[in-house]
Amino acid sequence: MSADRYGIPSTKIIELMKNLQVPFRNVGPQHKIMVMTDTAMDPLVWQAVMAVLNEKGAQAMLTMFPPLPYHCADPLSMAIGAAKEADLVVALTTTCMNSGTPGLREIRNTGRTGILLMEESTVEILTEGGGKTTLEDMEEISDICRRIGEVYDKGKKIHITSESGSDFHRGHLGLSAELSRRSLVEAARKNQRKDRPAHRRHLAMG
């Protein structure tokens, strides 16, 4: 399959490999890494990831399957079984995955396998957008997320406003993770049943 049909020159792999050094900076020969992707993903994206992993000497494996039927669907059971042998799973699918679904929880419950969610990535995102994020940027973002999480965990309700006009209310922050997961999966299934083209399906989260 040629990347040319996506309208992106193959030379973009040079920039991709440069920007992918940050997320894979600690990878070495001792690591077993599985890359999950689907047949609708731009080949240049998964090729660049595999190239970076190979460059670092990691034991890398590519798993490819048809696009999942809806957002937050679990990958094939064969892929889940193989993923449990990896130190890290890199999700490069064209539909969103969710670490709370049964399949991905099964992977996480091994206690050894991390999951890096990079779904719906494009060459543009990884070379011109967030892909240019530096390690310092990531550390700042992680610190902000940690501080927000601490407030969220201790609170019972949340109200977010912004100068742009956002006015978001949410209560019952104490919902269990299992209940939240079930709600998310059920919403995805209902969304999938709607008679709409796959590329126009959106998971409604409320």
Predicted structure pTM score: 0.69
Per-residue tokens: 76: 């094939």
Model pLDDT for residues 12-21, shown as the tens digit of each residue: 999 999 999 9
Residues 154, 19: Cα–Cα separation, whole Å: 36
| Residue 160: predicted pLDDT | 82
Model pLDDT for residues 84-105, shown as the tens digit of each residue: 999 999 999 999 998 889 999 9
Residues 145, 130: Cα–Cα separation, whole Å: 16
Strands 32-38 and 88-92: parallel
User: Position of tokens 């601490």?
Assistant: 150
Q: What are the structural domains, with CATH classification, of the chain?
A: 3-132 (3.40.50.2300), 135-200 (no CATH)
| Residue 150: predicted pLDDT | 87
Model pLDDT for residues 29-85, shown as the tens digit of each residue: 999 999 999 999 999 999 999 999 999 999 999 999 999 999 999 999 999 999 999
How many other C-beta atoms are found inside a 10 Å radius of the C-beta of residue 105? 15
Burial per residue of 114-144, b for 16 or more beta-carbon CB atoms within 10 angstroms, e otherwise: ebebbbebbbeebbeeebeeeeeeeeeeeee
